[in-house]
Amino acid sequence: MSNVHLIDHPLVQHKLTLMRRKDASTNTFRRLLNELSSLMAYEVTRDMAMQDIEIETPLETMTSKVIDGKKLVFVSILRAGNGILEGMLNIVPGARVGHVGLYRDPKTLTAVEYYFKMPHDMHERDIVVVDPMLATGNSAIAAVERLKELSPKSIKFVCLLTCPEGIAAFHKSHPDVPIYTAAIDRQLNDHGYILPGLGDAGDRIFGTK
């Protein structure tokens, strides 16, 4: 599938399997998500622009590389996105963070925004949007639409799991935004859950069920 990056590193796949198990405790699930998200951040930031700077080692002057441009922005789609956010910040601690809150209108089933807070200068920044489950795609599509109004330099979308329906819907609206995922599961069920999936990601992260 074009513009989908499947992160099939053995450590990522192993941790994801442990997370899927229904008997994984909240504590275990959250810890694994944190570790897995750090590994995913490593892959997602692989193509970041670099610049050469001159530094002094204890022995001599040298030209060496640092990341170029303004700080990256991680945008968490509330609330489950916060589970991925923490792990990503472990390895990119200087990143800026934005939050988008959306709920599903029970009548129209469309995503309605209730919170949107971003760092300044978004037009000069690269954005990584995070949400563990790309299922119907409605929240992700609405969040990216809203972020595009700020004309960022680039947008990537990162999830743990997705399914063919989620990918198709997201790419219909945003063919230019790459998806990074640890798995593409079989299908969506009638309630918008991914099968075989891992259940409700928010409930599993925060122990609310």
Active site (catalytic) residues: 104, 108, 200, 203
Give the number of other CB atoms < 10 A from CB of residue 107: 6
User: Cα torsion at 139, 140, 141, 147 (round to 10°)?
Assistant: 110
Q: What is the largest CA-CA distance in the chain?
A: 68
Cis preceding-peptide flag for 146 (omega within 30 of 0): no
| Tokens read off for 133 | 């489950």
Q: How far is the CB of 85 from ligand URA (least distance, A)?
A: 16
Q: How far is the CB of 179 from ligand URA (least distance, A)?
A: 15
For every residue of 23-35, DSSP letters joined together read T--HHHHHHHHHH
Residue among 118 and 133 whose Cβ is closer to ligand URA: 133
103 and 136 Cβ atoms separated by less than 8 Å? no
| Site residues for ligand URA per CB under 6 A | 133, 135, 192-194, 197, 200-202
Whole-angstrom distance, CA of residue 85 vs CA of residue 49: 21
Q: How far is the CB of 170 from ligand URA (least distance, A)?
A: 13
Residue among 157 and 193 whose Cβ is closer to ligand URA: 193
Cis preceding-peptide flag for 196 (omega within 30 of 0): yes
Residue among 98 and 197 whose Cβ is closer to ligand URA: 197
Q: How far is the CB of 194 from ligand URA (least distance, A)?
A: 4
Whole-angstrom distance, CA of residue 160 vs CA of residue 132: 5
Residue among 122 and 133 whose Cβ is closer to ligand URA: 133
